[in-house]
Structure 1
Amino acid sequence: MSLSRSENRKRAPLMTPGRWILLIAGFLLFAAVSFALYVRSADADYRNEEIHAIKRAKQEAGLKSASEAYKHVWEETVWVVIGKDAEGVKWFVWEKQDGIVKEREDAGESKDEIADRFRVEHPGNKIVRLMPGWFQGRPAWEIRYVADPSNGRQAIDFYSFQDGSKLKTYDLPGK
């Protein structure tokens, strides 16, 4: 039996199932790499500020190592770098536009002491965030917490870094 001319000249399809799989896999790889680069570039400014803050703390405050760095934005933007000097003493360094403020960790209330004080004042309230900051022209601790668990409303308390006294409470609107 002989094949007809049209059957003789029929070409194989250009996109075979194997080629479709390669094309889709290539697109997914491209999308994943593009997303990773986007996330990395979106975070780059913050990371550069953090690196600059740590370098400044090492140069101006004499830290040899930094364990944590926080950006605190309230009345003004302040970077807080926590680290140790050459003797191993732990320091808090608040970097403001007009200079730095450096305090030994043991000269003020620790994070755990402030958390304990908060739990005594607000039993049953869940702490959302606890971080060092700057409030009313001095070093402070900021505690953001769920003030009303029934509707999820939150509040922020500020405590003095030096003596742990409560400075102010802000009830946040919402929910």
Structure 2
Amino acid sequence: MNLSRSEGKRRLPSLSLRRWLVILAGFVVFVIVTFVLYVRSADTDHRNAENNAIRIAKEQAGLVEVSNAVIHTWDETVWVVNGKDAEEQEWMVWEREAETIKEKVSDNMSEQQMIAKFSQEHNGLMPIRIIPGWFQNGPVWEIRYWNEAEQNNQRHQSIDFYSFKTGSKLKTYVLSS
């Protein structure tokens, strides 16, 4: 079977540089949009839980302005919401499964006071992280820091728990490397 003259001379259309650039730009936009949607969907559960914790703190604890909300997991998982009430008093609210505990920051150890106390006790050492939490059935400050091991000259992380009310040390955990 012979091809007709016109069929034999037909050429496939080639893509110009401009068309290649449009296709490439479209692919790049597709990848970026897909990545953004993936990141947003991966973070959705955490953001919904955080918004729910803020809503509960506003409704049950009377906060009108929230500065931050953190989740703490140790003995149990709790949300700790920090904010101010209508009289501009700063409060911390621990949202446990069974109850909500509200403590005035000025009547307890603040984060700055706790950092200063920790640094004094540990010869000027600065913490890696300090967050409010729940430990031994009460509100605490959890402080994570690098500790020098005296035996092997190795650094490892340690976690100290301090009472939120008095600032007294409750327990230290040394994390293995």
TM-score of the superposed pair, with normalisation by structure 1: 0.90
Distance (whole Å) between structure 2 residues aligned to residue 126 and residue 36 of structure 1: 36
> Secondary structure of the residue that 1:55 maps to in structure 2?
helix
Q: Tell me the residue number matched to 2:51.
A: 51
1:127 Cα shift? 1.6
Distance (whole Å) between structure 1 residues aligned to residue 97 and residue 85 of structure 2: 23
Which amino acid is 1:53 matched to?
Answer: A
- Percentage identity across paired residues of the two chains: 49
1:170 aligns with 2:173: yes
Q: Tell me the residue number matched to 1:161.
A: 164
Q: Tell me the residue number matched to 1:91.
A: 91
Cα offsets for 1:22-81 (capped at 9, x unmatched): 111111110011001101111110000000000001111111111110100110000000
1:138 aligns with 2:138: yes
Cα offsets for 1:76-127 (capped at 9, x unmatched): 0000001111111111100000011100011110101110111111125342
Q: Tell me the residue number matched to 2:71.
A: 71
1:148 Cα shift? 2.8
Does the CA contact (< 8 Å) of 2:115 and 2:126 recur in 1?
no
Aligned residues: 169
> Secondary structure of the residue that 2:91 maps to in structure 1?
strand
Distance (whole Å) between structure 1 residues aligned to residue 83 and residue 155 of structure 2: 35
| Range that drifts further, 104-113 or 141-150 | 141-150
Does the CA contact (< 8 Å) of 2:66 and 2:81 recur in 1?
yes
RMSD (Å) for aligned C-alpha atoms: 2.0
> Secondary structure of the residue that 2:58 maps to in structure 1?
helix
> Secondary structure of the residue that 1:52 maps to in structure 2?
helix
1:11 Cα shift? 4.0
Which amino acid is 1:125 matched to?
Answer: L
Gaps of 5+ in 2: none
Gaps of 5+ in 1: none
In structure 2, do the counterparts of structure 1 residues 126 and 88 end up closer, same or farther at CA, with 3 Å as the change threshold? closer
